[in-house]
Structure formats: structure tokens, C-alpha cells
Structure 1
Amino acid sequence: MIRALLALVVALPALAAGPYPIKEAGSRCRTGPGTSFSVVKQYALGRMVTLVCQTEGENINGNTIWDKTTEGCFVSDYLVKTGTNDYVAPRCNSSPNPPSGKPCALLNAAGIALVKEFEGFVPSPAPDPIGLPTVGYGHLCETKGCGEVRYKFPLTQATASQLLNDDLPRYTTCLGEMLGSGVTLNDNQWAALTSWVYNLGCGQTKSSTAIRRINAGENPTTVVEQEFPKWVYAGGQKFSGLVRRRDAEIALCKKPSSKQAYPKCT
């Protein structure tokens, strides 16, 4: 019995990996691999964490790996200095289910890049082309001076990316709530629709013909290709930037992918 226990103790370190230092102060460790999951705790800069296993999750600055620490929560691998963007620990047997009633709030790298390109980087609150105060990558200020933003102004591209990751689950969640139970989307279709919702807001898109047609069973790519060109106006004016954005969203939506993003994570 004692020999068996000693063998188990010796084997445990080989199953884990690390410890590795946390790269950013206030790094959040969550109940699952994405920013839509609840925060369990925050790690200080330089805090050493040991990884039990790793799994795929929400894309954070180009890294889709999330690390499960010995505290039982998940932190983006982007925030852990492992020395690589590849796996350094065993894969987790399974990922936690997304929050009840909500789709996975994931956006692939192509979707993140598209949103960033067309929103543009704004380090401090400033009016957008139609006069709405925004900051970062399209964050619409909710209070005077964007006081709700927890990051210091002027933002860096890194903190603007974190703000975008904070914001996106609001839009992916409302998109999922708009869609009927029979709808299936790959990650490129999901990213294109999310970019559209992020740009226009949940209210306008919820009542749109595009959503109605998708829910009626029409091919989502065909619907996007036909309906998105209608959404190029802001403040009653046609904007060339919106024309280019809709074209880019259509192109992304049409790009084949075998990875399903809605109604479940893969």
C-alpha cells in the first residue's frame, strides 16, 4: 500500500506542467475556457501556476489554448509564460459546458482580425464617424469619458484587445439568443455574423430580415451574401468603410470550415 502511494506521489508531477509565471497583473482564472465564464480568482504578475491540463477555448490574441491550474480554474495560455503557444500539459478530458442557455462565446482568429481592422484602434475616448464616443476596438462608451472601462487611458493595443474580449460575449450571447434551435453555423459564419452584430448592435439585428431568413431555414451564407450589402448606412449616409466591412464579412462567411461554432463548441 505504501509503495503504491509513493508511486502515485512520484507520478503526479509528470502529469502536471510548470510551474510557470503569470505575464500580466490581474489575470483572471475562470470556471471555463472563455471570457463568458465566471471569474474564480485573479493572479498577480509573476505568480507561479502549475497546469493540470490544457484545452481549446476562446481566442485570446491569437492563442486558443486555455490552461487549467491546480486551483481548478482556467486562465488563457496567452497570460501564462510557458515559452510556447503549443501544448505543454496533457489535454483536459473535456471542457466545461457553456453557461446555461447561452451559446459558446467564441470567435475565431479571422473574426477577431476582421473586427479589429474595421473598428480601428482608438487609444482614448473619441467620437466615431457618426459622433458616438468609442474607445479601443469599437467599445461604445456607456458613461461619460468611458468611465466603465477598467483599463487605463490611453489604451495600449494589448489592453484594447482585452477590452474587446470583455465586450464580445455580450454580442455573441445576444446573437445566439436571436437564432432558432435548428440553426447550425461553422466558425467563419459565426464570426461574420458576430462582426455584423458587434457593428450594428443587438436591437437592429434582432429584427432584421437576415435573422428571420436564417431562422426560416435558409442557407446562412446565402442570406449573408444577399442581406449584408443592405447594411452600409449610418446616420442616413452610405459609408465606404461599411461597404468594405460587409464585403469582408461576406467573404469570411463564404470561406469553408468544418469547425462548428453554433449551437455548440467543438
Structure 2
Amino acid sequence: MTVTILADSACDLSEHYYNEYNIEMIPLTVHLESKDYQDSIDISSKTIYDAMRKGEAPKTSQASANQFKDIFTSYTEAGKPLLYIAFSSELSGTCQAAKMVEQEIKETDPEAPLHIIDSKCASLGLGLVVLEAAKMAQKGFSFQDIIEQTEKNTAKMEHIFTVDNLEYLYRGGRVSKTAAFVGGLLNIKPLLHVDEGKLIPLEKIRGTKKVLKRMVDVMDKRGSNLQKQIIGISHGDDLPRARELSKMIQDRFGVKEENIIIEMVGSVIGAHSGPGTLALFFHNT
């Protein structure tokens, strides 16, 4: 029986990928101007970024246990295998909510074909992992083979990113108020990565142009077989810079343009990283 892949909206994949590869999606929630919205369903990333530029401070919340119970039981009761690849548990409680429901289901049905992977990934880093699993499912790979390969893929996924305004990371508790203030004055751009699911600062760079070059340098140092993998770039409503980064990668490593996926950072992650975010995702050595 064909395996179904479930993703949450923090994977930042466009709708056409869900349709083409039969991926199920569970939305996280965005709170804006006293209203609740389902990420990627009834609010767009562009709406969030425009609101943030006007001074709004959107909030987010995890997917609920009830959401997971509805979709998990619909598959397990039908005996259909379901693999949920979750947004990093270090950045959201969504994965934990799903695991609670999984435990409840397996107490009465230990053999239920349901598995959850804490990806320790975010944004299009998660999206690339989800996409690879969905392609394997479409090709008829077994449930266990997809689980094992997905766990390998999550461990290899690099996240290198920068933000345009440190204020948004400050609001999310990622940098101090002083660092955000001084960084803004000096045009300092932080370079960060994800390690074991957590956001970790790498270095501070002055000037946007230097940041892009440094991102490519880090990719050169950490990447493996770049010409033979799909590379992801996500952006906070700044497509020109995303395309510039893509061109730099093509020129430096000989990567084909069709092997680079560019997506906008979704509403949930964008609410914390802000407009102008730029992120790069690839497999390491």
C-alpha cells in the first residue's frame, strides 16, 4: 500500500508540490490583528510581511492535538501507512503534540502504520526532506525504507540563513535588545545556522553583499555533491536577492538552475524572521 507523507506548513513548500506528490499538510496558526489564520490556507506570507513592515507583530501557535487526531485516525483506521515529518521540536511544540496522539493511538493499536520523525529542520530545509520522502512514496518504496532514508536526509540538511532586521529575532528571543539596536546602526547582518534543531549564530557580517558571498563560502565548505542534489533557497519577500544567490551558486558550483528551488518563507517562520530573510539549504558531507 502506498505510503502517504504528512508535512506541516512550516516546510514552506508551494501548493503544487502537495498536489503533484500527494502530500498531506497540517497548518500551524498565525495570529494577526486579533484574528487567527491557518498558515498557507487562509493567509499568505506576503500579507504577513506587509503587516510587519507597518509595525504589526504577528504571533504563531503550534498545530493542535485534535488536528493530528483527526488525520492520524483517518489513516490508521483504514490501515493506510502515514509518515509525519515534523517541524523541529526545538522551534515548535507541534512535534510533541503529534507524538502524544501517536502514543494514544498505539496504546490501543500497537501495529498502527503511523510514524513520526522530528526533522530538526525548518522552512525549505524541512521542505526538501518532505519532498524526497514523497518522491520515494510515489515510486513505491516501503514504509521502512522511506523512514530510514528520511532520517538520513534530516541529519544531512544544512540551514544557512540571514535576516535583514535583527529586531524580529530580538522579539523572538534570539538576540539581545542591545545587539539588535547596534546591529541596525552598523548594518550588521547575522549569519546563522541550525544545529540539532536549534538556531545558532555563526558570525556577524557588515553589508548585504558580503553576506551572500559568505553564504556561498560556507556552502563550499560544508556541501557535498552540490551538482547532484536539489538545493533550496527561501526568502522573506525578497525574490531578487534569492535569485542573485541562486546565480552565484550556479556560477560557482556548476549547479543547474532547475536543481534550485526558490520559495517564499511561510507565514509562521516569517513572523519570527521578518521581511528580507534569506536562507540556503543543502546536504552536507
- Give the TM-score taking structure 2 as reference length: 0.27
- Give the TM-score taking structure 1 as reference length: 0.28
Bigger share in helix: 2
- Highest CA radius of gyration, 1 or 2? 1
